[in-house]
A and B are shown apart, each in its own frame.
Chain A
């Protein structure tokens, strides 16, 4: 059913309008971050920056603890993602390349766990980290982010491994490869896109996480960037230019990763939930 030309034009105009509305907050964040300070605190009406300055970025990088928070965020996120992807890949291989007792039960468990509202475990998690003396240390967040990102990672990788026929490995084994060697030489290279997609989704989840970062770092040491951003705006008399600069810096790696996985974006998120 092709709509008439006039209707099509209207639909295009509508779509462009929606796109502009959608882009506005992103544009407003970036443009405010390079606006001169006196324009930010002026009552004049303006939608475009009347100058270009990197002062806000300099303020954030030199006069605040941004770099310390950034370091914490990077350490926690990268370590947690590496652990989740590694342990997830091992488990995915076990589920998809072996038949063993308890396999079905484990699959069901992962399915249920995927939907579990992890936020409801806040209190026992706090007590657990307190009892093990991990409060205020980065390993507490690493452990939590590992387990938060694990179910999805495991499930998605399992789907990826299932998508690679076992015949290839078996053929390699007939040619004299060991089981492990066959996997390493044949299947692993084909898993590349799946590993990248999983890592990115896990990264974004951990990079954004706020509640546990707030709760498990009560003294403020080892807090991550989301907490830093919130503390920026909760104090009275906000420096909006610096806040927007920080928000922009915080968004950059996520955008970069989004570009990498844009192909798998939609199928990636729903794959875990749709494909049995």
Chain B
């Protein structure tokens, strides 16, 4: 292409050239603005309004300042639910990352046949839709005919005949956590394994020659290259586990007597079931604040990593 050729390009074409990227961007941008940007603003404004079913039908706009927030944080039940959600998230994340890391390290030591078997097993658990997994767990823990109670009776623990696993909030939460961890481990394990595999073998050999213990080898050879990936999967796990609604709701709808109610469930019950939209919006905002608070550390790490790569 010569310079003269460029000068003879007709202007309308050039205008299209400058417009083209914006035209390409438009569908995605408009969708994000209308269905994400607007609701994000709307959740804030709604949280400062008195908005129940009555106001909704009458089309009234009643601004009440921080009343919704004061009402929510003035309720001791809310703090209990917040604490429960944070502890539940922490337990799920720690177990997920811990087990996944052990599995990733284990996979490195296996012969290819055994490793393939383990990976296929993990993959199937990962592929299982959340609701399919939830119904199977309900069936396994079923009071009358569940295989778990049958097994416990079969090995001589007769007390577990027709034992109900859902009489307390704590055991209900524990079973839900088991389900969450069981489904979350495969992805994390595979991700970490991909990182473990890329560590050069000779580093291990030189560590072996230096007479390093297996713990020292793990600390000095395995952990450093894994660290960024560990931070990432921890962060992702916090995000996922904190927001879990389907499994919690499907098990006991937050019961028994509110014993497995978490923040996402509270938001649903307050807003959709009871029709207190203003209050529920305040809960949503507080939920995001809590989530940001517990993941801020990782968020900083990630954004720094992103920034350095660009």
If the complex has contacts A146-B35, A226-B130, are A16 and B43 also in contact, measured as CB distance less than 8 A?
A: no
Q: Are B284 and A251 in touch, CB under 8 angstroms?
A: no
From A215, A234, A274, contact of B232 by CB (8 A)? A274
- Which 4 A-B pairs give the minimum distances between C-beta atoms? A210-B246, A124-B42, A276-B309, A98-B21
Q: Are B132 and A29 in touch, CB under 8 angstroms?
A: yes
Please name the residue on chain A nearest to B103 by beta carbon: A18
List B residues 28-54 near A (Cβ within 8 Å).
Answer: 28-29, 31-32, 35-36, 38-40, 42-43, 46
Pull 18 A–B residue pairs with CB atoms less than 8 Å apart, ordered by A: A25-B136, A86-B27, A91-B28, A91-B29, A98-B24, A113-B32, A120-B288, A210-B246, A210-B250, A226-B129, A229-B132, A229-B135, A230-B134, A254-B127, A254-B129, A258-B123, A276-B305, A276-B307
From B46, B114, B208, B305, contact of A127 by CB (8 A)? B46
The number of chain A residues touching the other chain, given as a range, is 35 or more
Whether, in the assembled complex, A67 has its beta carbon less than 8 Å from a beta carbon of chain B, the answer is no
Q: Which A residues are in CB contact (< 8 Å) with B310?
A: 276
- Shortest CB–CB separation between residue A47 and chain B, in angstroms? 8
Whether, in the assembled complex, A1 has its beta carbon less than 8 Å from a beta carbon of chain B, the answer is yes
Whether, in the assembled complex, A53 has its beta carbon less than 8 Å from a beta carbon of chain B, the answer is no
Residues of chain B touching chain A, judged by Cβ–Cβ distance below 8 Å, are: 1, 18, 20-22, 24-25, 27-29, 31-32, 35-36, 38-40, 42-43, 46, 56, 103, 106-107, 109-111, 114-115, 117-118, 120-140, 142, 144-145, 147, 150-151, 153-154, 182, 186-187, 190-191, 194, 204-205, 207-208, 217, 229, 232, 236, 239, 242-243, 245-246, 249-250, 253, 264, 267-268, 271-272, 277, 280-281, 284-285, 287-288, 291, 299, 302, 305-307, 309-310
Q: Which B residues are in CB contact (< 8 Å) with A124?
A: 38-40, 42-43, 46, 281
A117 CA / B103 CA spacing, docked (Å)? 29
Whether, in the assembled complex, A111 has its beta carbon less than 8 Å from a beta carbon of chain B, the answer is yes
List A residues 5-36 near B (Cβ within 8 Å).
Answer: 8, 11-12, 14-16, 18-20, 22-23, 25-26, 28-29, 32
A226 CA / B126 CA spacing, docked (Å)? 17
Q: Are B135 and A273 in touch, CB under 8 angstroms?
A: no
A232 CA / B127 CA spacing, docked (Å)? 21
From A22, A43, A93, A267, contact of B145 by CB (8 A)? A43
Whether, in the assembled complex, A147 has its beta carbon less than 8 Å from a beta carbon of chain B, the answer is yes
Please name the residue on chain B nearest to A255 by beta carbon: B127
Q: Which A residues are in CB contact (< 8 Å) with B123?
A: 258, 262, 265
Whether, in the assembled complex, A75 has its beta carbon less than 8 Å from a beta carbon of chain B, the answer is no
Chain A interface, DSSP helix/strand/loop, else mixed: helix
From A18, A211, A244, contact of B268 by CB (8 A)? A211
Q: Which B residues are in CB contact (< 8 Å) with A18?
A: 103, 106, 118, 121
Q: Are B25 and A45 in touch, CB under 8 angstroms?
A: no
If the complex has contacts A3-B109, A41-B145, are A123 and B124 also in contact, measured as CB distance less than 8 A?
A: no
- Shortest CB–CB separation between residue B208 and chain A, in angstroms? 5
Q: Are A122 and B127 in touch, CB under 8 angstroms?
A: no
Whether, in the assembled complex, A182 has its beta carbon less than 8 Å from a beta carbon of chain B, the answer is no
A127 CA / B130 CA spacing, docked (Å)? 27
Q: Which A residues are in CB contact (< 8 Å) with B154?
A: 45
From A28, A95, A250, A273, contact of B131 by CB (8 A)? A250
If the complex has contacts A87-B27, A122-B267, A276-B310, are A25 and B128 also in contact, measured as CB distance less than 8 A?
A: yes
- Shortest CB–CB separation between residue B155 and chain A, in angstroms? 10
A12 CA / B250 CA spacing, docked (Å)? 36
A41 CA / B192 CA spacing, docked (Å)? 42
Given contacts A28-B136, A119-B245, A127-B56, 6 further A-B contacts (CB under 8 A): A124-B40, A124-B46, A208-B130, A218-B272, A233-B135, A255-B124
Whether, in the assembled complex, A247 has its beta carbon less than 8 Å from a beta carbon of chain B, the answer is yes
Q: Which A residues are in CB contact (< 8 Å) with B43?
A: 120-121, 123-124
Please name the residue on chain B nearest to A274 by beta carbon: B232
From A16, A100, A215, A274, contact of B22 by CB (8 A)? A100
Q: Are A119 and B36 in touch, CB under 8 angstroms?
A: no
Give the most central of B46, B137, B138, B205: most A CB within 10 Å: B138
List A residues 50-108 near B (Cβ within 8 Å).
Answer: 83, 86-88, 90-91, 93-95, 97-98, 100, 103, 106
Q: Are B250 and A123 in touch, CB under 8 angstroms?
A: no
Q: Are A210 and B130 in touch, CB under 8 angstroms?
A: yes
Please name the residue on chain A nearest to B19 by beta carbon: A100
A45 CA / B194 CA spacing, docked (Å)? 41
Q: Which B residues are in CB contact (< 8 Å) with A210?
A: 130-131, 245-246, 249-250
Q: Are B25 and A94 in touch, CB under 8 angstroms?
A: yes
- Shortest CB–CB separation between residue B82 and chain A, in angstroms? 14
From A41, A122, A273, contact of B284 by CB (8 A)? A122
If the complex has contacts A1-B217, A11-B106, are A22 and B31 also in contact, measured as CB distance less than 8 A?
A: no
